[in-house]
Amino acid sequence: MKSRTLNFPNPSRSYDEVSHVIRFWGYDLAIEISFFIDQSALSKIRPETKLTETEMLNTFDLHRDQICEAANNIYSRRGDNPHTFSYTLTSSNF
């Protein structure tokens, strides 16, 4: 499968209070791909981040380009499962 670069034209992101992740979206042509970034990843990106909704969203916004690059890397390595439309970024992705 030929690797394509995702686009991230939608600046929306949201905090999931139950899972303690931030959800955001990328697009492969017209297909929407959901991404989640967990607390461990945000803490690795910016260790001083407090694990509150406001702080986590702030860290996400400050490092959006780095996070989108990591999301694109995960998506491009999807290998034998090209029909997965949801991915979670953890500290190991940074």
Q: Which residues are paired to 14 by β-bridges?
A: 23
- Residues 52 and 42: their CA atoms lie apart, in Å, by 11
Structure tokens at 34: 């959901």
What are 16-60's pLDDT values in tens digits? 999 999 999 999 988 899 999 999 999 999 999 999 999 999 999
**Domain annotation covers residue 76:** yes
**Domain annotation covers residue 4:** no
Domain that holds residue 51: 13-93
Would you give the distance in Å from CA 16 to the centre of its chain?
13
CA of 44: how far to CAs of 28, 49, 59, in Å? 27, 9, 11
**Domain annotation covers residue 17:** yes
Give this prediction's pTM.
0.89
User: In this predicted structure, what is the pLDDT of residue 1?
Assistant: 46
**Domain annotation covers residue 65:** yes
The domain spanning residue 48 has which CATH number? 3.30.160
Question: Mean pLDDT over all residues of the chain?
Answer: 91
Q: What is the tally of structural domains in the chain? A: 1
Q: How many residues does the chain have?
A: 94
**Domain annotation covers residue 57:** yes
- Residues 92 and 73: their CA atoms lie apart, in Å, by 12
DSSP at 73: H
By CB neighbour count within 10 A (0-12 exposed, 13-18 middle, 19+ buried), where does 35 fall? buried
